[in-house]
């Protein structure tokens, strides 16, 4: 039997995913150890795990370097890779939003927006082109997106909002919600056919485990 490979997104998502797998009797405890080892193995279940940058997880899965991946819906949408999204894991829930200064609240439709700052250029472009049919300049930033409207880099931002605390503390508000985001399980298209029995079993065990939590 060949090993199935699972790619986890480094960070908070990985910790929650590990708990989920452990609750499903799949051993990925080795990932918690502070070693430089990149891949750990559950010999009993013939599963290998590795941690990757969230944005790279869909890439590993599309190419079949990982059969399964755990990653946020935001990253799936932004990367636009060819793969199956098989399960909503529910955790790491937040919203992808357009946000900006309070003065714009309820006025987005009357406003001409010229520049949008975001870590998610594809999602922002799709939203403004398809939903609002506007041509705007997307400015890619790598973090602290809320700064952009405060210092005049852009009128609005497209970013994740979890508790809303960052927006509030910077006098910004949600102007529109683009999508509900949470962690998802993704599967390589070929693996889903070739290893359907084992993969479906993992999906089922994880799903049951989620229901019981």
Binding site for ligand PRP (CB under 6 A): 143-146, 159-166
Tell me the closest approach of the beta carbon of residue 27 to ligand PRP, in angstroms. 29
Tell me the closest approach of the beta carbon of residue 142 to ligand PRP, in angstroms. 7
Residue whose C-beta lies closest to ligand PRP: 143
Tell me whether residue 88 or residue 166 sits nearer to ligand PRP (CB atom).
166
Tell me the closest approach of the beta carbon of residue 165 to ligand PRP, in angstroms. 4
Tell me whether residue 116 or residue 145 sits nearer to ligand PRP (CB atom).
145
Cβ distance 132 to 138 under 8 Å?
no
Tell me whether residue 144 or residue 171 sits nearer to ligand PRP (CB atom).
144
Tell me whether residue 64 or residue 164 sits nearer to ligand PRP (CB atom).
164
Tell me the closest approach of the beta carbon of residue 114 to ligand PRP, in angstroms. 22
Give the DSSP letter string of 99-159.
EEEGGGTT-TTTPPP-EEEES-HHHHHHIIIIIS----EEEE-SS-TTHHHHTTS-SEEEE
Tell me whether residue 166 or residue 182 sits nearer to ligand PRP (CB atom).
166
Element (H, E) at 4: strand 4-9
Cβ distance 158 to 97 under 8 Å?
yes
Cβ distance 153 to 126 under 8 Å?
no
Tell me the closest approach of the beta carbon of residue 85 to ligand PRP, in angstroms. 22
Quickly count: other Cβ atoms within 10 Å of residue 159's Cβ. Answer: 29
In whole angstroms, what is the distance from residue 78 CA to residue 121 CA? 7
Strand order in the sheet with 172-181: 137-140, 115-118, 156-161, 94-101, 172-181
Tell me whether residue 135 or residue 142 sits nearer to ligand PRP (CB atom).
142
Tell me the closest approach of the beta carbon of residue 174 to ligand PRP, in angstroms. 10
Residues 6+ apart with CB under 8 A from 109: none
């Amino acid at each position: 039997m060949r090993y199935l490979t699972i790619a986890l997104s480094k960070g908070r998502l990985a910790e929650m995913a590990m708990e989920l797998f452990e609750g499903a009797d799949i051993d990925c405890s080795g990932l918690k150890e502070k070693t430089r080892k990149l891949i750990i193995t559950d010999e009993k279940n013939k599963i290998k795990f590795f941690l990757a940058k969230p944005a790279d997880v869909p890439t590993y899965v599309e190419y079949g370097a990982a059969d399964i991946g755990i990653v946020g819906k935001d990253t799936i949408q932004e990367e636009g890779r060819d793969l199956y999204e098989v399960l909503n894991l529910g955790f790491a829930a937040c919203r992808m939003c357009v946000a900006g200064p309070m003065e714009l609240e309820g006025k987005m439709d009357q406003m001409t927006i010229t520049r949008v700052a975001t870590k998610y250029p594809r999602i922002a472009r799709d939203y403004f082109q398809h939903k609002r049919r506007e041509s705007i300049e997307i400015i890619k930033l790598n973090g602290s997106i809320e700064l952009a409207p405060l210092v005049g880099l852009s009128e609005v931002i497209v970013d994740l909002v979890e508790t809303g605390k960052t927006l509030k503390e910077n006098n910004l508000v949600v102007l529109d919600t683009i999508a509900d985001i949470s962690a998802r399980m993704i599967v390589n298209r070929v693996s889903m056919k070739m290893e359907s029995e084992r993969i479906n079993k993992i999906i089922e065990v994880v799903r049951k485990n989620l229901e019981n939590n």
